[in-house]
Chains A and B, each alone.
Chain A
Amino acid sequence: DTGVSQDPRHKITKRGQNVTFRCDPISEHNRLYWYRQTLGQGPEFLTYFQNEAQLEKSRLLSDRFSAERPKGSFSTLEIQRTEQGDSAMYLCASSPPDRDGWRNYEQYFGPGTRLTVT
């Protein structure tokens, strides 16, 4: 399977614990996005990487959230001291490089990690 993969698919944790999610983008996709989706709502943008550089973070991303993409391939999203409000589906997407100077706006989504904080 050469699509975007995320691990784990489900995570149940107790309030106050730290959790880490992993996203493996499609090979050679240089742009990677994290989104969060709460029940009944559309996803919301969290952060964006181009290669290993984190170029944008949403104001939704509090100090308890940190994301990395150390070698420009896979990415991790860590939530420290989880709160019940962090319960959501965390989605990762990747985009191919630009072609012939044209920006490529396609995004390919992973299956998501569903986090439940009890």
Chain B
Amino acid sequence: QLQLQESGPGLAKPSETLSLTCSVSGGSISSSNCYWGWIRQPPGKGLEWIGMIYYSGNTYYNPSLRSRVTISVDTSKNEFSLRLSSVTAADTAVYYCARRFYDTSGHYYFDFWGQGTLVTVSS
């Protein structure tokens, strides 16, 4: 069974860079029919897509966050990472990593999620 696990500091200071890693087990991050994504959820609010990456390094980012986001992949470690720069209190959220699967019918959906990790931005 595929499992994803987020890791990283639970606290970030305003104006600094938030960094998280998602470790993938039970499957290969180099699967040809998968992208690997980050989604966040501020406390009490809805889901917001941040971006995603293919094992080759191809990325898609949410236009509203593009200027501050970098997603990278390390196939040798079977993990991918998120960096969000110049954070403010508005970036406080539970951050989820997830697999976006491309099925044989040509549809894409997030079928496996990590448990999520809360990152608080505060001085």
Tell me whether A and B are bound partners.
no
B residues with a Cβ closer than 8 A to A are none
